[in-house]
């Protein structure tokens, strides 16, 4: 799992965004469209029509934690002994999504590296895909009925 600060939120823009607007335009879109402060500590991820790199607006620390977390996928997929206790308390659906992400992203990291991609390109590609798994976990947690 990736250590993203607990106070940070990850916002993923669905659909295509006009990337010609630049950083100021994207920050304005966050401010007016979402009624959020673009520099308030959250991470906003946009995708252009061509699907290039991660567009960086929002919390630099959360984005860095996301990209830094991708280095763990260089290794073979496994759960370390020190994390077993922390993972056991999570719902089964979340553990299943996490393991699926672990297996897929480890294999993808190796495939991209074998194709001769640079480490930065591989890490950003893995980080972009990892956000999809984070979103899936967030949707699973939100749809789970709360018991009192």
Inside any domain, residue 97: yes
Q: Mean pLDDT over all residues of the chain?
A: 78
Inside any domain, residue 115: yes
Listed in sequence order, the residues at least 6 apart from 147 whose beta carbon sits closer than 8 Å to its beta carbon are none
Alpha carbons 105 and 75: distance in angstroms, whole number: 10
> How many structural domains does the chain have?
1
Inside any domain, residue 136: yes
The confidence band for 104, taking pLDDT boundaries of 50, 70 and 90, is very high
Label the pairing between strands 57-58 and 43-45.
antiparallel
What is the reported pLDDT for 1? 46
Question: How many percent of the chain have pLDDT more than 90?
Answer: 15
The label of the residue with tokens 């922390």 reads 86
The label of the residue with tokens 């979340």 reads 94
Inside any domain, residue 105: yes
Inside any domain, residue 127: yes
Task: Flag whether pLDDT at 53 surpasses 70.
Answer: no
Inside any domain, residue 20: yes
Over residues 105-143, the pLDDT tens digits come to: 999 999 999 999 998 889 888 988 888 888 888 888 777
Over residues 68-80, the pLDDT tens digits come to: 888 888 888 888 8
Containing domain of residue 107, as a range? Answer: 10-143
Listed in sequence order, the residues at least 6 apart from 83 whose beta carbon sits closer than 8 Å to its beta carbon are 1
Inside any domain, residue 3: no
Instruction: Quote the distance between the C-alpha of residue 119 and its chain's center.
Output: 17
């Amino acid at each position: 799992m990736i250590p993203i600060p607990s106070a940070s939120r990850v916002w993923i823009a669905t659909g295509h965004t006009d990337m010609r607007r630049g950083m100021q335009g994207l920050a304005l879109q966050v401010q007016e469209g979402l009624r959020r402060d673009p520099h308030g500590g959250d991470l906003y991820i946009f995708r252009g029509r061509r699907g290039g790199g991660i567009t960086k607006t929002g919390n630099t620390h959360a984005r860095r934690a996301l990209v830094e977390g991708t280095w763990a996928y260089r290794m073979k997929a496994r759960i370390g002994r020190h994390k077993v206790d922390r993972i056991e308390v999570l719902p089964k659906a979340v553990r299943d999504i996490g393991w699926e992400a672990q297996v897929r992203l480890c294999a993808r990291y190796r495939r991209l590296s074998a194709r001769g991609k640079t480490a930065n390109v591989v890490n950003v590609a893995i980080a972009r895909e990892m956000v999809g798994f984070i979103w899936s976990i967030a949707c699973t947690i939100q749809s789970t009925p709360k018991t009192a």
